[in-house]
Amino acid sequence: MGKIRAYINDTYSELVSKVSWPTLKELNASAVIVMVSTLMTALVIYGMDMSFKFIMDMIYGFFG
């Protein structure tokens, strides 16, 4: 039981004194970057999907 308590105390101490937590401004900026990059990735994948659908429709149109 003593090892578990020491582990919890060490973990708490490290989180409080050694970890540098981002400020709210930094956190908001990071969230915006993640949202924009996710939207851009989704749009690229959507474009690839629509292009592939167009190509496949053309190929199936030749045989149908």
Per-residue pLDDT tens for 28-47?
Answer: 999 999 999 999 999 999 99
The DSSP symbol for 19 reads -
pLDDT, residue 1, reads 84
Band of residue 11 on the pLDDT scale cut at 50, 70, 90: very high
Share of the chain above pLDDT 90, in %: 92
The SS3 of residue 22 is: coil
How far apart CA 14 and CA 30 sit, in angstroms, is 24
Domain boundaries, the chain: 21-64
